[in-house]
A = this chain, B = another copy of it.
Amino acid sequence: MPKRADYELYYWPEIQGRGEYIRLAFEDAGASYRDVAREPGGMKLMLGLLKGEGRHTLPFAPPFVRVRKGGQVLAQTAAILDAVAPALGLVPADDAARSTALQHQLTIMDFVAEAHDSHHPISVALYYEQQKAEAKARAAQFIEQRIPKFMGYFEQLLERNRKGKRVHLLGSEHSYVDLSLFQVVRGLAYAYPNACARLARKLPRVHALHDRVAARPRLAAYLASPRRIPFNEQGIFRHYPELDLPAKRGATRKKRR
């Protein structure tokens, strides 16, 4: 990677987490970026910026991005995407569509927060093992109510958008919101494979979008590369079999990276 990249991403180096929505946008656009905290000495740099070393706007938490052009430090996943997407060609140019993209991204981020809290309903400061009983109760509600509500909503959006031959959340154009929805589908399939398998029939367009995104050459290359951190039990989408529905007889689970 070039020494002076157009973008510097700062995010926890061992998980996909919220940083992955930014990584997917950079990778899909073929942008020149560094994933700083994964480089030697990068974690120290990131923690320094988080403590306010420098004169940038203080981020509340990773991910944050320093933009070479202008030097601004951007934080909050959806705000970062909104700011960088025009230059990456990942959002339509007009204000109305850009605003709709932000709206959809925020709904995705709300869902991501709920996916996280399905295994951490009491506190991020405690281990999963310290809130297992509460997680069981919350995950049951997440599976029964929240996954169908959110994923059904995106299915409806795709159904109402008849522009173009292929499935997109915004008109007939590929955008960062499609990348983010792809990531949520992957994450859910990793964390709650049995619950997702039962719901798949009701979400044909969501899955068609997932497949379209996965086949994009730069994205496919990224997913197959070591740059893609595998899902794991430190991230947002975690696979705890006891929180998922039981498997249907004869079903098998495909491993996803």
Contacts and interface: CB of A to CB of B under 8 A. Distances in A.
Contacts of A172: none
Interface of A: 52, 57-60, 70, 72, 74-76, 78-79, 82-83, 95-96, 99-100, 102-103, 106-107, 110, 113, 117, 121-123, 125-126, 134, 137-138, 141, 145, 150, 153, 156-157, 160
B121 A102 contact: no
A95 B82 CA distance: 11
7 contacts: A58-B153, A76-B102, A76-B103, A82-B102, A110-B113, A117-B117, A123-B145
Nearest 8 A/B pairs, CB to CB: A123-B141, A76-B106, A79-B103, A79-B102, A76-B103, A83-B99, A60-B107, A121-B121
Copies of chain A in the complex: 2
Contacts of A117: 117, 121
Given A99-B72, A122-B141, A78 B58 contact: no
Contact of A75 (B82, B103, B126, B150): B103
Contacts of A145: 123, 125
A168 to B, nearest CB: 13
Q: Which of A79, A82, A157 has the most CB of B within 10 A?
A: A79
A58 B156 contact: yes
Contacts of A82: 82, 99, 102
A60 B157 CA distance: 10
A103 B74 contact: yes
Contacts of A100: 57
Given A99-B83, A153-B60, A157-B58, A106 B78 contact: yes
B58 A160 contact: yes
A137 B138 contact: no
B141 A103 contact: no
Contacts of A156: 52, 58
Given A74-B99, A106-B106, A122-B141, 12 more contacts: A52-B156, A57-B100, A60-B110, A74-B103, A79-B102, A79-B103, A82-B82, A117-B121, A121-B122, A123-B138, A123-B145, A125-B141
